[in-house]
Copies of this chain bind each other. A is one copy, B any other.
C-alpha cells in the first residue's frame, strides 16, 4: 500500500517531456524557441528577447519588477516594497495601514534600502574560470575560484561601481559561468502602495492559495541625478489584460531551485536543513505573533518581519512536503541512476565523472557535522538583530577593505560595496525594544543549538542570561544612528579598534570563530560540492545536450505558460477571480477585512473585472513582482504568488497542479483609477501604450 500520491501519475507527468508545458526557467540567451513555436505559434526572437530583458528588473533584496513607463515607473508587489513602506512610516503616519500615494513626482519618497538591477549584458566566462581552478582542490580551489571571480567582476565594473553591478553567475551548478552586467539604481522612490489590508487580503491563511483577491502591487520610480530616469525599454500595459488560455511569459528572477541536487544533497535538505529551520521559524513566528499582539505600535514594528517569517515558513513547509513524498524521491533516484548508468557505461566518462556523487555525499556528511556552528555563528542565526548585522559589516568591512580585492570575503569585493553601504547607511528606523526581543531569543537559540557548555557560547554569554545580555548590548549601543555607522565605516580599522560600542565589541569578539567555521565550510564542503557538481553538469550536458535549463540562481529567467485553472481533487479551479469576489469573501475581520477605501468605492467599481488569475508558468520565490506579459511584450498581469502545489517546484515541476498566481492588469488600472484616484499614474501607464 502506498498511501502517498500515486507514483505512476507523477512519473508519467514528468517523464513525458515530449509535451512541452510550463516547465523551465530559461536564461535570456537560451530560450526554448522551437518548443514555444510548436506549442504557441510564436517565436521569441532575439529582438523581442532583448526588449524583454531590458524592460525587466531585479530588486536586489530578493524580488522582481519591471519598467512600465519611459519615465522610470516600476511595477512590483506590495510585499516587495512592504519593508520600505514600513521604514517610511512612524507611529503617527502608518502607510502600511493607510497606503501611500504620491500626488506627483516631488512627493515620491526614497526607499532607504531598495536597489534595482537592469540586466544589460551577458558574457560567457566559463573558460577563464576553468583555467584558473584547473587541477586544484580544497582550499586552493576555493581561493582560486574566489580570486578569479572578483577579478572578472572588478574588470567589468571598471570605475562605475555606483551605477554598474557585475556578478559572475554559476549556471547548471558549474556547467557554465556567465558574467551578468547590470545597471544599478539605488535612488528608488515610492510612488504608490495600497493598504496592507487589500494588498495582502486573506493574509497568511490565504497565502499560497487560490482563489485570491489581492491587490499585491506597488509602484516605484527609479531616479538618477535627482531626476526620474528615462528608459528606452519598458512594458506597456495591454489593453484588456490576461485572457483564458492565452500564452503568458513571465520574466523575473527566481531565487533558487534544487532540481539538480544529488540524492545525498536532497536527504540533507530534508533532514538537516528544512526540518530544523522550520522549527526555528515556527518558534520565531510564535514569538513575533505574541509581540505584535501587544498594541498597535508593536503591530506596526513587527509586521514586516512576521510576514517574512510566515511566508518562509509556509513556503519551506511545502518544500518539505514534497521531500516527504516517496514518489518525489523515487523520481529523483531514477533520474540520478539514469545519469550514473550513462557515466558508468563508458570507461573514459566513468574515470572523469564517476566519483562525483560519492565525493558530494562525503562533503554533505561533513556539512552535517558543522552546519549548526556555521548557521548560528557565521550565518547569523544566533544574532538576530539589525545592530549585530551593522556591527559585523563595520568590523569586517574595515578589515576587508584593507586587503587586495581578490583576497577579500566576496561580499566586500569592490563590485559589491555599493550594496553593502546602501544597507549600512540606511535611514530605516531601528526599534531598540524590539531588537532586544529578537536578539535575546536568538542568543537563547544559539545556546540551544551549540550547547550550554560550548566554549563559544560561554564566551558570548559569560555569566549573563541571553535576555540580560541583549538588553545590555542594545541599551549601550549607538549603532541605531546612521551617522554613527557612517563615521565608523569611514574611520576604518582604526575607528573600529577604538570603538567601545558593545555591539562592535561583540562583533570583534566573535569574528575569529565566524571566519574559522566559514573557512572550513568553504574549503572542505563548498569547494568539493562546486567541483564535483561541475563534473555532474558536464556529464549531464554530454547526455542531454544543452536544451535544458539550469537551476534558478536569482538571475533573469523566462518562463512560458498559459492562463489555465487546474483540477483540485476532482473539482475544477477556475483561472480567474473578480473584484466582486473580494466583497463576497470579506468578513470584516483581519485578515479578511477590506479597507475603507474599497468599501467606499464599491459602487464605482466594475465588480466583474478580472482580479487575480493563475497560469502554468514555472516560477518560484524571487519571481514576486515579475510582470506577466503577452507575445507583444505587454503587461497582462503581475505575479505575486504560487498556489500550494507550486511549493514542491523547488525539486520538480508538476504541470497538472503547479500554478503561478497574478494580479490582472485590468484590476490594477481599475483600482488605481476608481479606488485611489491615482489619475496621474494611470495616465502615465496608459500613455505608455505603443
Residues of B within 8 A of A468 (CB): 589
Residues of B within 8 A of A437 (CB): 290, 293
Residues of B within 8 A of A543 (CB): none
A491 at the interface (CB under 8 A from B): no
**CB within 8 Å of B: which A278-325 residues:** 278-280, 282-291, 293-294, 317, 320, 324
Majority DSSP secondary structure for residues of A touching B: helix
Distance of A27 from chain B, by nearest CB (Å): 33
A561 at the interface (CB under 8 A from B): no
A588 at the interface (CB under 8 A from B): yes
Distance of A570 from chain B, by nearest CB (Å): 14
Partner of A589, one of B278, B284, B320, B463: B463
0/1 per residue, A337-359, Cβ < 8 Å to B?
Answer: 00000000000000000000010
Residues of B within 8 A of A368 (CB): 3
- Whether A1 contacts B361 by the Cβ 8 Å rule is yes
Q: Give the docked Cα–Cα distance between A592 and B464 (Å).
A: 9
- Whether B205 contacts A448 by the Cβ 8 Å rule is yes
Residues of B within 8 A of A463 (CB): 587-589
A564 at the interface (CB under 8 A from B): no
Q: Give the docked Cα–Cα distance between A365 and B284 (Å).
A: 32
Q: A283-B285, A287-B286 are in contact. Are A1 and B452 (CB under 8 A)?
A: no
Q: Give the docked Cα–Cα distance between A441 and B361 (Å).
A: 41
- Whether B290 contacts A365 by the Cβ 8 Å rule is no
Q: What's the number of copies of this chain in the assembled complex?
A: 2
Residues of B within 8 A of A3 (CB): 264, 361, 364-365, 368
A401 at the interface (CB under 8 A from B): no
Residues of B within 8 A of A587 (CB): 461-464
A/B interface sample: 20 pairs, CB < 8 A: A1-B264, A1-B362, A202-B452, A206-B452, A278-B279, A279-B317, A282-B283, A285-B286, A286-B287, A286-B289, A287-B287, A293-B437, A452-B592, A463-B588, A463-B589, A464-B587, A464-B589, A465-B589, A465-B590, A465-B591
Q: Give the docked Cα–Cα distance between A587 and B461 (Å).
A: 10
A271 at the interface (CB under 8 A from B): yes
Q: Give the docked Cα–Cα distance between A479 and B285 (Å).
A: 31
Distance of A279 from chain B, by nearest CB (Å): 5
A447 at the interface (CB under 8 A from B): yes
The 6 lowest CB-CB distance pairs between A and B, nearest first, are: A286-B286, A3-B365, A286-B287, A290-B290, A282-B282, A283-B286
0/1 per residue, A615-654, Cβ < 8 Å to B?
Answer: 0000000000000000000000000000000000000000
- Whether A205 contacts B279 by the Cβ 8 Å rule is no
**CB within 8 Å of B: which A583-603 residues:** 587-592
Residues of B within 8 A of A317 (CB): 279
Question: Which residue of chain B is the closest to A462 with respect to CB atoms?
Answer: B587
Q: Give the docked Cα–Cα distance between A278 and B274 (Å).
A: 13
Residues of B within 8 A of A465 (CB): 589-591
Q: Give the docked Cα–Cα distance between A284 and B365 (Å).
A: 32
Q: Give the docked Cα–Cα distance between A202 and B284 (Å).
A: 22
Question: Which residue of chain B is the closest to A361 with respect to CB atoms?
Answer: B1
Distance of A201 from chain B, by nearest CB (Å): 11
- Whether B205 contacts A452 by the Cβ 8 Å rule is yes
Q: Give the docked Cα–Cα distance between A286 and B284 (Å).
A: 6
Residues of B within 8 A of A283 (CB): 282-283, 285-286, 289
A501 at the interface (CB under 8 A from B): no
Q: Give the docked Cα–Cα distance between A74 and B170 (Å).
A: 67
Distance of A503 from chain B, by nearest CB (Å): 20
- Whether B365 contacts A1 by the Cβ 8 Å rule is yes
0/1 per residue, A249-285, Cβ < 8 Å to B?
Answer: 0000000000000001000000100010011101111
0/1 per residue, A419-460, Cβ < 8 Å to B?
Answer: 000000000000000000100010000011001100000000
A467 at the interface (CB under 8 A from B): yes
Distance of A606 from chain B, by nearest CB (Å): 25
Residues of B within 8 A of A279 (CB): 278-279, 282, 317
Q: Give the docked Cα–Cα distance between A202 and B452 (Å).
A: 9
Q: Give the docked Cα–Cα distance between A206 and B468 (Å).
A: 19
Question: Which residue of chain B is the closest to A591 with respect to CB atoms?
Answer: B465
Residues of B within 8 A of A204 (CB): 448
0/1 per residue, A186-215, Cβ < 8 Å to B?
Answer: 000000000000000010111001000000
Given A205-B451, A289-B441, A452-B592, 8 other A-B residues pairs in contact with their CB atoms under 8 A: A3-B264, A3-B365, A275-B275, A278-B279, A283-B283, A286-B441, A465-B590, A465-B591
Distance of A14 from chain B, by nearest CB (Å): 22
**CB within 8 Å of B: which A98-113 residues:** none
- Whether A289 contacts B287 by the Cβ 8 Å rule is yes
Question: Which residue of chain B is the closest to A290 with respect to CB atoms?
Answer: B290
Partner of A271, one of B324, B452, B589, B590: B324
0/1 per residue, A461-495, Cβ < 8 Å to B?
Answer: 11111011000000000000000000000000000
Q: Give the docked Cα–Cα distance between A666 and B599 (Å).
A: 73
Residues of B within 8 A of A275 (CB): 275, 320, 324
Q: Give the docked Cα–Cα distance between A278 and B437 (Å).
A: 23
Q: Give the docked Cα–Cα distance between A204 and B448 (Å).
A: 9
Distance of A587 from chain B, by nearest CB (Å): 4
Question: Which residue of chain B is the closest to A469 with respect to CB atoms?
Answer: B589
Q: Give the docked Cα–Cα distance between A320 and B286 (Å).
A: 21
**CB within 8 Å of B: which A1-56 residues:** 1, 3
Q: Give the docked Cα–Cα distance between A282 and B289 (Å).
A: 13
Distance of A422 from chain B, by nearest CB (Å): 31
Distance of A441 from chain B, by nearest CB (Å): 7
Residues of B within 8 A of A464 (CB): 587, 589
Question: Which residue of chain B is the closest to A365 with respect to CB atoms?
Answer: B3
Question: Which residue of chain B is the closest to A458 with respect to CB atoms?
Answer: B587
Distance of A594 from chain B, by nearest CB (Å): 13
Residues of B within 8 A of A451 (CB): 205, 209
Question: Which residue of chain B is the closest to A286 with respect to CB atoms?
Answer: B286
Residues of B within 8 A of A588 (CB): 463
Residues of B within 8 A of A287 (CB): 286-287, 289-290
Q: Give the docked Cα–Cα distance between A628 and B618 (Å).
A: 61
Question: Which residue of chain B is the closest to A294 with respect to CB atoms?
Answer: B294
Residues of B within 8 A of A289 (CB): 283, 286-287, 290, 441
Residues of B within 8 A of A288 (CB): 286, 290
Question: Which residue of chain B is the closest to A447 with respect to CB atoms?
Answer: B205
Residues of B within 8 A of A290 (CB): 286-291, 437
